[in-house]
A and B are shown apart, each in its own frame.
Chain A
Amino acid sequence: MPFQKKGPPTLAQLQPGEQGRVRAVSGRGAMTVRLLEMGFVPGVEVRVIKRAPLGDPFELRLRGYHVSLRRSEAERVVLAEAEARG
């Protein structure tokens, strides 16, 4: 990816069909707590299923269910490995 941001990889960088293992949820406040409680805890695998027709939000699968997050929200989910696996 040409314009990839520096720093640890986040969920927002994954393409549909790719998945990654959660390392942490960054930031603070209600959004961070909500993500943790919806199951984005360290060690969990999250797969990107698709993007909405307008490009945002994402549809994700984790812990046996599907959830939709905006890009700005997915950026908070820091992944463990730099390489995404298909």
Chain B
Amino acid sequence: MKALRVAVAGNPNVGKTSLFNLLTGSRYKVGNYPGVTVETREGGLRVEGRAVEGVRLVDLPGTYSLTPMAEDEAVAFRALTGADVEAPELVLLVLDATNLGRNLYLALQIFELGLPVVVVLNMVDLAKDAGVGVDARALEAALGLPVVETVARTGEGVPELAARLKSMAGQLELMEQRLVPAPEGGVLARCLADMGGDGPRQRWLLAGRAADRLELAAPSEAERQRVDGLDEEAVREAMAELVGARYAEVDRLLEGLGLGADAAESRDANVAPAMATSEKVDAVLTHRVFGPLIFVAVMALVFQSIFSWADPFMGVIEGGVGWLSEAARSILGPGLFTDLVTEGVIAGVGNVVVFVPQIALLFLFIGLLEDSGYMARAAFIVDRLMARVGLNGKAFVPLLSGYACAIPAIMSTRTIASFKDRVVAILMIPFVSCSARLPVYTLIIGTLFVADERVFGPFTQGGLILLAMYGLSTVSALVLGAVYKRTLLKSPTPPLVLELPPYRLPRIRDTLRHVWDRTLDFLRDAGTIILAVTIVLWGLLTFPRVDPSELSEGETAIERSVAGTVGKAMEPALEPIGQDWRIGVALIGSFAAREVLVSTLGLVYDIEGADEDDAPLRDAMREAKDPETGEPRYSPLSGLALMVFFVYACQCMSTLAVVRRETGGWKWPIFMLVSMTVIAYVAALIVYQGGQLLGFG
């Protein structure tokens, strides 16, 4: 028997995800719709822990309407109408019982499609508490559709819903398309007639044209011609008429449900029953003074968690990797194969797994903030600042997270609705100084500057240089973001139009499940690339192998490796920015991760354990002299140029692997690598050459 496919639809913040998790026992596959980055989840129905054969659920993105305005709505409509995936046989429409006045708008659009619908009236407990409880039988009568009451947060009503779905398998018929009638003699009726008749598809195309997003509706050539033939002003009026007619029908339904009085109160903007408590909370959380203070505190907490709370876990992972390498070495004995296993494979796996604590913590916090309703308030508070770059408030958390690590930060850009704006944020994030740059800055400052020298007050030379690097990176990220937004990825500043939903207690299980999904996603997709690149880099730094006896005085094995040869070949390009081939080798090695610069320089200078204690390396670098001139090899100016290079350069394969994952191709990671390297080189050139002209170094 063919499985009954059930699409789960509903507005955002109505408990759709909780319900889906409950109905599938959280056993689902995460996938992507073809061509877009909107995530889908699909799983079999489970009742009391046991799989029910023949019923499969597909979770659609939460949307307020089906009009193609962004990818989410387009995906929902296309999935429901079977445009590029098989159409569902049944729609499970989740309504928030506390706010039917807005939820029913989407419901009417779905009824227009003519698919059989089961209505879930969720959060009936909160609706009763708020005094807007609606009788499920009355709603059933008014809509002519089965209605099931649930409380997804506690699981109440879910077994009944599951039983209902189970019983429906194999005995469904299409219902008639219930089009909210176009007002007679109006512009809408005329436009639809010009398009060859009234139907959900025609209405959808008309809406797509009105929203200037016809391409999202993917019309056929004939459809495009008909829609393009319509008069601009007529389309505008027709859309207003269509939405007005639907809302009039919503009001008529509410009236019939005995919610007329409440609805009138709501329509007069006097009350928002579900918001009664939340308004009191918001009196503090979005208060003119306390609001920003609390916002800063919450963001500091998120930042602190990925910056330092992840540290012990990362330490354990690094320790485990070290132990594993030792174990492998003692079992396999010395040799090339052992080196491949320890420095290639095990180190590579370590390079992947080491990101897991930061990813998990960031997504845990984001999940809690989203589900509780605070994230919308955070966007509300910070929107004005982000609008200057051309993004909306939702881009703030990903950018902030970038100061800890670009990997989780880039993954968290999924909260940004528009793809172009997501790419802008993704391109900005690696410019923000992540924590892996810190060891590089520290080594250079400690080697070439008098880090402890007081400049004024409590400020030392080292501290001020570090501050300058962070300032430079922040300003650069914001400026480049604004530039990309206005050129390459030109699009209007995304609308805010952000619902401020009632505060609700998050369902921890759903949040943890989401954290798990994202972590697995990273390990699977980005992890394989990171592992492969680690092995390649190991090869570059190892081959061709030389016998230690062949090395001349002061020469190290790494000098003869491919990386050493490439580094030497790069020297003419590095000299203008004040660097030599040794730094070139270290730049190749540090592509694995920026902090690897320290240990690779250690190999070049034949110093063991430089990443644990860099004092011997600092001494070696400070004492290094140019053999021809006898001058010191590195000056404060060349150190400054190298730091500026690191502010801008994309010295991180993991970032590129994640960007490939999140943008669905190699185009943007390649653009990122090339543009960041060029910017880094030019900036370092300006610093070094400019500094020399001014008589420094």
10 CB contacts below 8 A, A to B, read A33-B243, A34-B69, A41-B240, A53-B287, A59-B286, A64-B102, A64-B274, A66-B500, A67-B499, A68-B376
Residue A8 is within 8 A (CB to CB) of chain B in the complex: no
A18 to chain B, nearest CB (A): 10
B247/A54 in contact, CB under 8 A: no
* Residues of A that sit less than 8 Å from B by CB: 19, 24-25, 28-39, 41-47, 49-50, 52-57, 59, 61-70, 73
Residues of A within 8 A of B99 (CB): 64-65
B269/A52 in contact, CB under 8 A: no
B286/A52 in contact, CB under 8 A: yes
Q: Which B residues from 465 to 511 make CB contacts under 8 A with A? A: 495-501
B372 to chain A, nearest CB (A): 15
B244/A34 in contact, CB under 8 A: no
- Complexed CA–CA distance, A59 and B270 (Å): 14
**Chain B CB within 10 Å, residue with most, of A34, A65, A69:** A65
Contact with A along B369-384 (1 / 0, CB 8 A): 0000000100111011
B101/A36 in contact, CB under 8 A: no
Q: Which residue of A lies closest to B498 (CB)?
A: A68
Q: Which residue of B lies closest to A66 (CB)?
A: B500
B236/A28 in contact, CB under 8 A: yes
B129 to chain A, nearest CB (A): 15
Residues of A within 8 A of B501 (CB): 65-66
Known: A53-B286, A54-B381. A63 touches B266 (CB 8 A): yes
Contact with A along B282-306 (1 / 0, CB 8 A): 1000111101100000000000000
* Residues of B that sit less than 8 Å from A by CB: 64-65, 67, 69, 99, 101-102, 105, 207, 210-213, 232, 236, 239-240, 243-244, 247, 262-263, 266-275, 278-279, 282, 286-289, 291-292, 376, 379-381, 383-385, 387, 495-501
Residues of B within 8 A of A34 (CB): 69, 211, 495, 497
A37/B243 in contact, CB under 8 A: yes
- Complexed CA–CA distance, A73 and B492 (Å): 12
Known: A30-B211, A43-B267. 13 other contacts (CB 8 A): A25-B240, A28-B236, A33-B211, A37-B243, A47-B270, A57-B380, A59-B500, A62-B269, A63-B266, A63-B267, A64-B99, A66-B279, A67-B498
B496 to chain A, nearest CB (A): 5
A10 to chain B, nearest CB (A): 16
Known: A39-B247, A53-B291, A63-B102. A68 touches B240 (CB 8 A): no
Residues of B within 8 A of A39 (CB): 101-102, 105, 247
A56 to chain B, nearest CB (A): 5
- Complexed CA–CA distance, A47 and B268 (Å): 9
Known: A30-B495, A55-B384. A50 touches B243 (CB 8 A): no
**Chain B CB within 10 Å, residue with most, of A25, A35, A49, A68:** A68
A32/B236 in contact, CB under 8 A: yes
Closest 7 A/B residue pairs (Cβ): A64-B266, A47-B269, A45-B269, A54-B384, A36-B243, A66-B500, A30-B211
Q: Which residue of B lies closest to A28 (CB)?
A: B236
- Complexed CA–CA distance, A55 and B369 (Å): 23
A7 to chain B, nearest CB (A): 18
A64/B271 in contact, CB under 8 A: yes
Known: A37-B65, A39-B247, A52-B384. A68 touches B500 (CB 8 A): yes
Known: A36-B240, A67-B499. A29 touches B212 (CB 8 A): yes
B236, B244, B381: the one within 8 Å of A41 (CB) = B244
- Complexed CA–CA distance, A47 and B270 (Å): 8
- Complexed CA–CA distance, A59 and B497 (Å): 10
B267/A45 in contact, CB under 8 A: yes
Residues of B within 8 A of A65 (CB): 99, 101-102, 272, 274-275, 499, 501
- Complexed CA–CA distance, A36 and B501 (Å): 19
Residues of B within 8 A of A63 (CB): 101-102, 266-267
B267, B383, B497: the one within 8 Å of A38 (CB) = B497
A68/B380 in contact, CB under 8 A: yes
B496/A57 in contact, CB under 8 A: yes
